[in-house]
Amino acid sequence: MPTELCGIELAHPIINASGTFDAIAARRVFGDALIAQFPFSAFVSKTVTVAPREGNPPPRLWETPGGLINSIGLPNKGLGRYLAEDLPELAALPVPLIVNVMGFTREEVAELVAGFSEREEVAALELNVSCPNVKTGLVMGADPGEVAALLERVRPLTSKPLIVKLTPNASDVVAVARAAEDAGANAVSLINTIRGMALDPRSGRPWLGGTTGGLSGPAVRAVALAQVHAVAAGVDIPIVAMGGVQRGADALDLIRAGARVVAVGTESFRDPAAGTRISEQLALLAANSDLSRDASSLNC
Amino acid sequence: MSAPPRVLAPFGRRAARVVERRVYGAYVVLRCADPDGPRPRAGQFYMLAAAGWGGGDGERPFLPRAFSVHRAGAGQGLAFLIEDVGPGTHRLCELQAGEDLLLVGPLGAGFVSPADGRRPLLVGGGVGIAPLAIWQDELGGASALLGFRDAARAEGARLLADARVATDDGSVGHRGLVTDLLREQLDHDPHATVYACGPPAMLESVRLLCAERDTAAQLALESGMACGFGACFGCVVPTRRGYVRLCVDGPVLEASELDTAMVAGAGH
């Protein structure tokens, strides 16, 4: 079931969600079998920031009914070391590389976009806008004006496709998606995790070291479907959809709701090869559905 | 320290048929056939789940659970030691011979052999005795000091050879902590490498006892994990070189790398 995203040819529509698969660590664990059996048609990196980050204090995880709250805090080695150490390793992957970046100011995002724009290993950039702009205090992805201003700053810096990762913690996600499209984004991806919290049953205080975290897994699937459906009606650029996908049928739902490409996240924690299984299930379902008779509906 | 003992895992989750389920007091040992998997190193672990996952208390479990391999060997398959303490372990304890474990592994890096003629000394607490059994097998024997809450749990001492036992309630062996026994041993002769696995407070006590005496120690730590292969970054523990992911940089860490073994969220 080949498809394409912003001019990038993909062998099938299943990629990974940012921050849910570390191909470098996985190669240490699974060896070359990871390369031979790579489960995704593109690899999306964990978020890279300008400065190195240790991440949030543990505990970082809490299991919920059908889901997971995480408070990881974007640990990463920072732009300089990522460019020098990780990009050459990721070039060994058999699929296109999409690098996810986040800045705390527009200038930081600009530095990241410019830094990766020069590297041929990178097929596209995904902008994580789920953080506050420390200069304005507004969460960039929660405000259409912030997103427009961000795109206007970074769009001229690269010819690579820019994918805006929308946050579901916004009052009007469709307005944010439209603002991204109008300001030159090539695609949008959604949903990011939904803010959630858990209390330590023994102390009654917040369990997570970061107090709150992001909810993912099948618990958020219905929210993802609703937001993808709404955004698809509001923009013409392609949608990368994610949220609780566990089976081919879940991916098919998101495609029917308007997605071009579907990302798998939390399910990979349960089975690292889940992406392969889901893409195979999706291909079977699509062969028996309207999608195979009307291929254009895949590109809606 | 030589290269960490790490056997690569087949990519993806696989089914391993349970061939034997045995009860040792408060513990269940599940032995499964794993013809498609390699023989793991002592101290490595697996992520385990089963059919019917999600059907327990609070609609959990959702994520797989991490277990050190308890025994492995030619013709033996893999054995895991499990105590029913929550929805994940409850479901696993229900499994019977003929049902499937769903597993990913072996994962992480295990124990390293003693250096400079130091004698190996195994210290375990509760269900944390699990990886010490396979390590005792690999070492061809080693003294074991094991601590348990009560007599039902002290049944687990049968899983290792020649173990000295302490129980909190004095029902079996020494009344008190296993670290009382360790202190006695190290005061007699500190030239040892201690291999320890157990609750955070026990590990911290082992770390301090060993640090005071310049005794080498390798601690098999526990931390809540979602994936087990470095993807989720959820299982980090603080070390002297910053946070490390226990799943790929552990679960066995040199005690000298730690300022504390009191891992936040462990033992939950």
At residue A284, the 3 state secondary structure works out as helix
Same fold, B14-107 and B119-257: no
From the list B49, B232, B237, the residue facing A70 with the nearest CB is B232
Chain A residues within an 8 Å CB radius of B10: 30, 33
- pLDDT (mean) for B189-198: 97
- pLDDT (mean) for A94-123: 97
Percent of chain B with pLDDT over 90: 89
More confidently predicted of B244 and B57: B244
Task: Identify the pLDDT of residue A295.
Answer: 47
Measured CA to CA, the distance from residue B213 to residue B189 in angstroms comes to: 10
Q: Which residues are paired to A63 by β-bridges?
A: A68
Q: How far is B127 from chain A (nearest CA, A)?
A: 21
Percent of chain A with pLDDT over 90: 91
Cβ pair A60:B268 closer than 8 A: no
Q: What is the ipTM of this complex?
A: 0.95
Q: Is the pLDDT of residue A136 over 80?
A: no
Measured CA to CA, the distance from residue B201 to residue A101 in angstroms comes to: 39
pLDDT per residue as tens digits for the range A282-295: 999 999 886 654 44
Sequence spans of domains, chain B: 14-107, 119-257
Neighbours of A4 (CB within 10 A): 14
pLDDT per residue as tens digits for the range B5-32: 899 999 999 999 999 999 999 999 999 9
Q: Is B40 on the interface with A (CB under 8 A)?
A: no
Of A154-168, B3-17, B155-169, least confident by mean pLDDT is B3-17
Superfamily of domain B14-107: Translation factors (2.40.30.10)
From the list A55, A59, A63, the residue facing B62 with the nearest CB is A63
Chain A residues within an 8 Å CB radius of B8: 29-31, 33
- Exposure string (b/e) for A117-141, b if CB count within 10 Å is 16 or more? eeeebbbbbbbbbbbebeeeeebbb
Neighbours of A231 (CB within 10 A): 26
Question: What is the third-level CATH fold of B119-257?
Answer: Rossmann fold (3.40.50)
Chain A residues within an 8 Å CB radius of B54: 66
Task: Identify the pLDDT of residue A292.
Answer: 52
Task: Identify the pLDDT of residue A120.
Answer: 95
Q: Is B245 on the interface with A (CB under 8 A)?
A: yes
Neighbours of B203 (CB within 10 A): 28
Question: What is the third-level CATH fold of A3-299?
Answer: TIM Barrel (3.20.20)
pLDDT per residue as tens digits for the range B98-141: 999 999 999 999 999 999 889 999 999 999 999 999 999 999 99
- pLDDT (mean) for B164-186: 98
**Cβ-proximal residues to B44 (8 Å cutoff; 6+ apart), any chain:** B5, B6, B7, B68, B69, B105, B106, B107, B108, B109, B110
DSSP state of B251: B
pLDDT per residue as tens digits for the range A199-258: 999 999 999 999 999 999 999 999 999 999 999 999 999 999 999 999 999 999 999 999
Q: Is A131 a catalytic residue?
A: yes
Q: Is the pLDDT of residue B214 over 50?
A: yes
Task: Identify the pLDDT of residue A237.
Answer: 98
DSSP state of B41: P
Choose the catalytic residue: A11, A131, A149, A174: A131
pLDDT per residue as tens digits for the range A50-76: 999 999 999 999 999 999 999 999 999
Percent of chain A with pLDDT over 70: 96
Q: B1 falls in which pLDDT band (50, 70, 90)?
A: very low
Q: Is the pLDDT of residue B241 over 60?
A: yes
Task: Identify the pLDDT of residue B34.
Answer: 95
* Residue from B60, B222, B233 to probe the interface with A (highest A Cβ count within 10 Å): B233
Q: Read off the pTM.
A: 0.95
- pLDDT (mean) for B183-188: 97
Residue at token pair 């201690």: B194
Of A36-40, A76-80, B74-78, least confident by mean pLDDT is B74-78
